[in-house]
Every structure is written in C-alpha cells, then in structure tokens.
Amino acid sequence: MLPNRGPLAMNGRASSSLHPSYFDALYAGEPDPWQFETSAYEAAKYDATLDALPHDRFASGLEIGCSIGVLTARLAQRCDELLSLDVSEQALDTARQRCIDLPHVRFEKGQIPQDWPDGRFDLIVLSEVLYYLDKDDLDRLAARTMLSLAPGGTVLMVHWLGETDYPLSGDDAVEHFTSRLERWPVRMFRQAREPEYRLDCLMLG
C-alpha cells in the first residue's frame, strides 16, 4: 500500500505539505526507499553536489532531510560541525549508525519549517526536500533559512525534475523558494541542470 499523501489538488498533486506519516510509511516498507546506498545516479548526483560547493571547508553545516545519512557522511568531510535533520526516526537511526565514528555530526528529528534549529550556519543544504512543502511553508522556510545563514554563507539546493505527486515540481519549488529571497543580498554562485535534476547554489553577500 502506498503511503497517504493527504488531499490531492485538481492537478493530482498533494494540496499541502507532506505529513511525517508519509515518510514513516515509506521507511517502514523499505529501509532505503530511494536507493541512496546503491544507486549510481545518486552517487553521481552527490559528487556534483559536493563539487558545487564554493569552499573546501565550512565551520557549521545544516542538512535538511538527511534520510539514512549517505550524503551526510560525505558532507561531514567538508564541515567542522554538521547538524542533520529528518522527520523519520527510523531513517535517523540508520543515519546515526552510518556516522557513528563522526563525533562532529549531530542528528535531530524535526519537521521543517516549524522545527527549525537554533544557531547560525555557513552552509545549509536543501537536497530533495523543497517540493515536499506547499508554498506557504516554503515562504516560512525561506525566511528561516536566510535568518540562520551566516554572512557569506551558502545555500545549496538539489532537486529531481521528474513527475511526482508532491505539492510542487522540482522547478516550481526552487523557483518559488528563490523568489522569496529578494529582500536579502543573495547571488547565484553556481547553477546546473541535468536531464534528471537541477542544482542551485546561492551565496549571501
């Protein structure tokens, strides 16, 4: 049985941000529902994600939607401290085990934007998460992201471009999110578009 996404809009997409129970059902049925551990596509995308970063090292990183921690373990090599969030306790348990030898990595359970962590970060990674939110939550997420970003900090976004029934497509989610950043002095550092995903790297100041 497919997890419940909630009410659907006229276009067949979920009409509101996906509930944590959606992800709980996914991980209950399959410990690695997106094949992060085994997919050549995911490995290549992670290579591109890390290559897009403007600096070799970051003092404090925040990863939203860490899932089972495959990208987390790689981001940890670039951060002095890394905080990774996810809504699924099962996914977090796997991520913690994967990163058990990385004491500078912390994990917290939380749903964005409402469970946004305290602190300032010079790297915020939003990989495959924006399209799970509706536009109102994206508005709140944009504000929380920028208020938590240190001067000169980086926001890195990577999103699938294929068809989904999430609240927004990858393109619509990224474009809506970035349109809400106009009050802050952000600039596009790097942008790439592949057949299956887009990558957008922004810098503050």
- Note if the pTM is more than 0.75: yes
For the stretch 54-89, pLDDT in tens is 999 999 999 999 999 999 999 999 999 999 999 999
pLDDT for the residue numbered 7: 42
Domain layout of the chain by residue ranges: 20-204
pLDDT at position 13: 81
Nearest to 158 by CA among 145, 141, 171: 171
Q: Which residues contact 134 (CB under 8 A, 6 or more apart)?
A: 15, 16, 17, 167, 168
Question: Residue 72: CB partners within 8 Å, gap ≥ 6?
Answer: 63, 66, 82, 84, 95, 98, 99, 105
**Best CATH choice for the domain 20-204 from the list 3.10.450.50, 3.40.50.150, 3.30.565.10, 3.30.1490.20:** 3.40.50.150
Per residue of the chain (205 residues), give pLDDT as tens: 234 444 444 356 899 999 999 999 999 999 999 999 999 999 999 999 999 999 999 999 999 999 999 999 999 999 999 999 999 999 999 999 999 999 999 999 999 999 999 999 999 999 999 999 999 999 999 999 999 999 999 999 999 999 989 999 999 999 999 999 999 999 999 999 999 999 999 999 8
Q: What is the pLDDT of residue 93?
A: 97
Question: Partners of 64 in the beta sheet?
Answer: 85, 126
Q: pLDDT, tens digit, for every residue of 103-116?
A: 999 999 999 999 99
**Residue type for position 158:** V
126: left (phi over 0), alpha (psi -120 to 50) or beta: beta
